Amino acid sequence: MRKANPPPPALIELKGVTKIYGTGAAEVRALDGVDLRIDEGEFVAIMGPSGSGKSTAMNMIGCLDQPTNGQYLFKGVEVGSLLRTQRALLRRHFLGFVFQGFNLLPRTSAIENVELPLIYRGMGVKERRALAIKALDRVGLKERARHTPSELSGGQQQRVAIARAIVTEPDVVLADEPTGNVDTKTSCEIMELLTSLNRDQDITVIMVTHASDMAAYADRLVRFVDGKIENDARNKEAA
């Protein structure tokens, strides 16, 4: 009888992760023994009150911080065992970031902002320009490629930021309050865009948000409280 093939490793897995800041009376356990598995193709919303650990978890997943104890595995590889340069390469080749404040260079055109991750890769001008145009087209802003951020609305600026996050064809997009600086109508447009990237491009999306109506776009909702996961459910179950 043939043995069944073992299941593939999780895309992202936190095992007993604890993150401690400070010592003694000033010690803060931002994460306290967190276990979390995220598979390829999921759209996960992370919620919780301020200080609950959700942003620390996002920083951990984004290789911007390391656990005090426990393990973070990306595609089965323990990230804590990687050199600093290797973690930087992981961020550069597998992760895309979207921030609440857009983080665009103000005097630089949309297409030049989108090209930035490709410049860090050492890619030539012609190739990176073509990929940047493609990314802007995917977010519906190809015709605004030459505009600077001051010539774009808040929603358009966030679309440019999303194009910059996906231009490298990452496995994961990490979105930290992506609708925090735009109005309700634009927020829904941004969420529809993230949903389509997840559904049509098979990009795993992990989003931190305070807004339950934005979290409703995700397939799965993870709630943090006091550094622990209070609830982890498919969105229909969490509603």
β-pair partners for 227: none
Least confident stretch, 2-16, 145-159, 208-222: 2-16
Q: Domains (ranges, CATH) in the chain?
A: 42-62+84-238 (3.40.50.300)
Whether the model pTM is above 0.85: yes
The residue that leads in pLDDT, 239 or 135, is 135
Flag whether pLDDT at 89 surpasses 70: yes
- Binning pLDDT at 50, 70 and 90, where does residue 239 land? very low
* Contacts of 139 by beta carbon, 8 Å cutoff, 6+ apart: 159, 160, 162, 163, 166, 193
What pLDDT, in 10s, does the model give residues 2-25?
666 666 789 999 999 999 998 888
- Binning pLDDT at 50, 70 and 90, where does residue 129 land? very high
Q: How far apart are CA 39 and CA 230, in angstroms?
A: 20
pLDDT at residue 23, as a whole number: 85
Neighbouring C-beta atoms of residue 129, cutoff 10 Å: 17
